[in-house]
Amino acid sequence: MASPPSVEPGQETLPLFFGVDVGGTNIKMGMVDDLGNTLVYEKIPTNETEGPQRYMERTTEVLQAMCEKVGRPMSDIAAIGLATPGTMDIEGGILLEPHNLPNSYNFPIRDCLSKLTGRPVVYANDANAAAFGEYWLGSGKEFRSMVLLTLGTGVGGGIIVDDLLIDGEHSHGGELGHIIIDFSENARTIPTGQRGHLEAYASGTAIIKRTHEALAGDLQKESSLHARIDAGEQLSPLMVAQEADKGDTLSLHIVMETARYLGIGIVSLMHTIDPGAVILGGAINFGGHEEPLGRKFLERVRQEVKSRAFPVPAAQTVIDFARLGGNAGYLGAAGKARVVSHRDSLNS
Amino acid sequence: MASPPSVEPGQETLPLFFGVDVGGTNIKMGMVDDLGNTLVYEKIPTNETEGPQRYMERTTEVLQAMCEKVGRPMSDIAAIGLATPGTMDIEGGILLEPHNLPNSYNFPIRDCLSKLTGRPVVYANDANAAAFGEYWLGSGKEFRSMVLLTLGTGVGGGIIVDDLLIDGEHSHGGELGHIIIDFSENARTIPTGQRGHLEAYASGTAIIKRTHEALAGDLQKESSLHARIDAGEQLSPLMVAQEADKGDTLSLHIVMETARYLGIGIVSLMHTIDPGAVILGGAINFGGHEEPLGRKFLERVRQEVKSRAFPVPAAQTVIDFARLGGNAGYLGAAGKARVVSHRDSLNS
């Protein structure tokens, strides 16, 4: 994870925004100026069992402390961007049934934070916010449009075209793990039972499942994964990456196969959105540009895309890793608040 | 095809636009006001062999005659929307290598029309323009976002979110026949050789191919298609529709299977764009709402979507037939010109 960019001197008079990224474990917050500089950054535990009213109150206390720290009143904050996991009603500002915030069902979180702070709050899905962060300040900053695919326990993502974050008309925009790549009867399933979704093939969960299957195959007796599992370790995407890195054929096959599945999904997105760049984010990146395995993974994604997409987008669409790591969410939440805020003043 | 809406009295002072839809056979043109009323409509043969300079000159003559007819000078036209088939460079305004305009390769068609008319010209892909037409004035008019899927010789489409037509960063936005629905080695191919694209399953071409395959199957000896083919008729999607309508099991199976494939593609679009509506257009609609077969086809599409999509979009996304028929293209071209024109005056 990259450390947040620090403030440049002499930019204290730019419009200010807060970005707040609520997760199951932590709430990340930053005061961000109009150029994307983070002036203050803070992370607090969510302590979700206390309920959403309480963790929003603690968030507000931190935001107020940030204002004091930079010597600007809360009224100087043009808008706050708030990102949460779904399910949610983005237009209504309501948490519906977020799986990793089980005590926060049907909570009007946007208006709660707006009331506590006295500032307008712009609401976003956390994966979409991360996409907006990469678009504004990360790997997508050179492009007019961008798609982010995040690879973690599941597969998520977000889409931005000309500063417009595609939230969706029912708050389901950019659910990119759920495009269908295999319609057949025996396609893999996701936990909710639907068949053939990208997430059933390329997520962390799918990597573990596919690896277990491969390890049960007769030809895979010599994989170095066996020894670690026999020693009591739990099979994980990280373990697969480590053994692939050391030359284990089965593990490398799993990593390359994951790249292939992602490439297939990316082609559908290229023929739909035709973005300037497709960016790969999330916790699982096999070391990214820093590691030979990560670079090999990225090359395999690109190769699959080239073999299946139309010539022009195949040649011109940039496919690369994300840059902002875990900071993308709060930065993108601030970025969405900034764009909405600028648009509103344009129209008023 | 619906006839163009006629002008309402008393609206002569609204801003005016031209929409021009260039096809391989005809060029359709309309003078359209700010509310979407068509004041004058005309269709001329493209005569593409004469070359693009000549057919744009003839187009300009018709536009000038339209101006005279309504007693408004060309300078009163706020902007002209121009739609053509691809491949194209939308930002550069250039026809690249359009398959059905073989004498128009690498032609700067946008600036040509702008020079001839003296008016600003906004360029669009024809399928994307048709989508914008349905969004502005047809089946999508109640929604903030819409996806159009067109079923003809191929499968095409267009995407609009909050008045923004997604052209794509390389003029390949909304190439919806080319999302991948089957990644397997033995997936069907499109003429360019790529595997598993929706168009390889659900286009008119694919319908003919799948029907021929089914007719070669041992169990299909009793299909009523055999007699018509034996009598020298050429197998076509229309013939399949007619026999399905009369109760031919094999033909009905082909139609329902087509609906199923489209439904699979639509789920990917719902989990990407999450539009308010997905609209089915193009020449092949099995009679649409007017015919029992069309209604059965639409129901099968909806059923496939419900079984594969997330509950909220599955329940709330409207799936319906297009309304504007062959007029969608020129209306949408005018509509895109209108939106760009309004946006430019907002920013100036």
Q: CA-nearest residue of chain B to A157? A: B272
Query: Given an 8 Å threshold on Cβ–Cβ distance, is A271 in contact with B167?
Result: no
Q: Using CB atoms, which residue from A170, A268, A276 is nearest to B180?
A: A268
Give the mean pLDDT of A252-268.
Answer: 98
On the question of pLDDT at A3 being above 60, the answer is: no
On the question of pLDDT at B326 being above 90, the answer is: yes
On the question of pLDDT at A10 being above 70, the answer is: no
- Sole residue written with tokens 């709330």: B316
- Give contacts of B309 with chain A, Cβ < 8 Å: 178, 194
3-class secondary structure, A132: helix
Count CA within 13 A, CB hemisphere, residue A63. Answer: 33
On the question of pLDDT at B221 being above 90, the answer is: no
- Structure confidence at residue A96 as a pLDDT band (50, 70, 90): very high
- Sole residue written with tokens 């000896």: B221
Is the minimum CB–CB distance between B258 and chain A shorter than 8 Å?
no
For chain A, which residues make up each domain, given as ranges? 16-133+326-347, 141-322
Query: Given an 8 Å threshold on Cβ–Cβ distance, is B261 in contact with A183?
Result: yes
Please determine whether the domains at B16-133+326-347 and B143-322 fall in the same fold group of CATH: yes
Helix (H) or strand (E) holding A29: strand A26-33
Residue A1's pLDDT is what?
A: 39
Is the minimum CB–CB distance between B164 and chain A shorter than 8 Å?
yes
Residue A8's pLDDT is what?
A: 53
Query: Given an 8 Å threshold on Cβ–Cβ distance, is A272 in contact with B164?
Result: no
Is the minimum CB–CB distance between A306 and chain B shorter than 8 Å?
no
Q: CA-nearest residue of chain B to A273? A: B173
Residue B345's pLDDT is what?
A: 79
- Give contacts of A178 with chain B, Cβ < 8 Å: 267-268, 271, 309-310
On the question of pLDDT at A337 being above 80, the answer is: yes
- Structure confidence at residue A348 as a pLDDT band (50, 70, 90): low
Query: Given an 8 Å threshold on Cβ–Cβ distance, is A274 in contact with B169?
Result: yes
Query: Given an 8 Å threshold on Cβ–Cβ distance, is A271 in contact with B175?
Result: yes
Is the minimum CB–CB distance between A95 and chain B shorter than 8 Å?
no
Give the mean pLDDT of B87-98.
Answer: 97
- As a whole-number percent, the residues of chain B with pLDDT over 70 amount to 95
Give the best residue of B142, B149, B170, B201 to mutate against chain A (max A CB count within 10 A): B170
Q: CA-nearest residue of chain A to B162? A: A164
Q: Using CB atoms, which residue from A168, A261, A273 is nearest to B168?
A: A273
By C-alpha distance, which of B268, B285, B292, B293 is closest to B328?
B285
Query: Given an 8 Å threshold on Cβ–Cβ distance, is A184 in contact with B181?
Result: no
Q: What is the pLDDT of residues A47-69, one digit of tens each?
A: 999 999 999 999 999 999 999 99
Is the minimum CB–CB distance between A162 and chain B shorter than 8 Å?
yes
Query: Given an 8 Å threshold on Cβ–Cβ distance, is B313 in contact with A270?
Result: no
Instruction: Report the CATH fold assignment for A16-133+326-347.
Output: Nucleotidyltransferase; domain 5 (3.30.420)
- Sole residue written with tokens 């709430």: A27
| Lowest-confidence segment of A6-10, A205-209, A292-296, B256-260 by average pLDDT | A6-10
The packing angle between helices B237-245 and B204-215, to 10°, is 60
- Structure confidence at residue A282 as a pLDDT band (50, 70, 90): very high
Q: CA-nearest residue of chain A to B87? A: A312
| Lowest-confidence segment of A238-247, A337-346, B200-209 by average pLDDT | A337-346
Interface of A with B in 25-84 (CB under 8 A): none
E-strand ranges in chain B read: 16-22, 26-33, 38-45, 77-84, 88-89, 94-95, 121-125, 145-151, 155-161, 164-165, 277-281, 318-321
**What distance in Å separates the CA atoms of residue B299 and residue B293, rounded to the nearest whole number?**
10
Q: Using CB atoms, which residue from A166, A183, A269 is nearest to B264?
A: A183
Cα A154 to Cα A129, A202, B148, distances in angstroms: 17, 8, 29
Q: Using CB atoms, which residue from A87, A162, A269 is nearest to B272?
A: A269
Give the best residue of A91, A142, A183, A197 to mutate against chain B (max B CB count within 10 A): A183
Is the minimum CB–CB distance between B159 and chain A shorter than 8 Å?
yes
Asked if residues A93 and A111 have their Cβ atoms less than 8 Å apart, the reply is yes
Query: Given an 8 Å threshold on Cβ–Cβ distance, is A183 in contact with B181?
Result: yes
Q: CA-nearest residue of chain A to B267? A: A179
Residue A14's pLDDT is what?
A: 79
Nearest-CA distance B58 → chain A (Å): 32
Query: Given an 8 Å threshold on Cβ–Cβ distance, is A275 in contact with B168?
Result: yes
3-class secondary structure, A266: helix
Q: What is the pLDDT of residues B121-159, one digit of tens each?
A: 999 999 999 999 999 999 999 999 999 999 999 999 999
Asked if residues A207 and A240 have their Cβ atoms less than 8 Å apart, the reply is yes
**What distance in Å separates the CA atoms of residue B214 and residue B229, rounded to the nearest whole number?**
14
Average pLDDT in chain B: 94
**What distance in Å separates the CA atoms of residue A326 and residue A329, rounded to the nearest whole number?**
7
Q: CA-nearest residue of chain B to A201? A: B183
Give the best residue of A148, A155, A170, A190 to mutate against chain B (max B CB count within 10 A): A170
Residue B1's pLDDT is what?
A: 40
On the question of pLDDT at B11 being above 80, the answer is: no
- As a whole-number percent, the residues of chain B with pLDDT over 90 amount to 90
**What distance in Å separates the CA atoms of residue B242 and residue B225, rounded to the nearest whole number?**
10
Helix (H) or strand (E) holding B321: strand B318-321
- Give contacts of B258 with chain A, Cβ < 8 Å: none
Q: How many degrees, rounded to 5, is the angle at CA A139 between CA A10 and CA A134?
A: 70
Give the mean pLDDT of A181-189.
Answer: 94
Q: Using CB atoms, which residue from B161, B276, B308 is nearest to A180?
A: B308
Is the minimum CB–CB distance between B1 and chain A shorter than 8 Å?
no
Q: CA-nearest residue of chain A to B275? A: A169
Residue A347's pLDDT is what?
A: 66
Nearest-CA distance B190 → chain A (Å): 11
Residue B348's pLDDT is what?
A: 59
Q: CA-nearest residue of chain B to A176? A: B272
Task: State the count of interchain CB pairs (< 8 A) between A and B.
Answer: 162
Task: Give residues with Cβ within 8 angstroms of A315, minimum separation 6.
Answer: none
Is the minimum CB–CB distance between A1 and chain B shorter than 8 Å?
no
Residue A219's pLDDT is what?
A: 66
Give the mean pLDDT of B24-51.
Answer: 97
Q: What is the CATH number of domain B143-322?
A: 3.30.420.40
Q: Using CB atoms, which residue from A182, A194, A272 is nearest to B184?
A: A182
Give the mean pLDDT of A226-248.
Answer: 96
Could you tell me if the ipTM is greater than 0.90?
Answer: yes
Query: Given an 8 Å threshold on Cβ–Cβ distance, is A313 in contact with B168?
Result: yes
- Structure confidence at residue A2 as a pLDDT band (50, 70, 90): very low
Residues A141-322, CATH architecture: 2-Layer Sandwich (3.30)
Residue B2's pLDDT is what?
A: 44
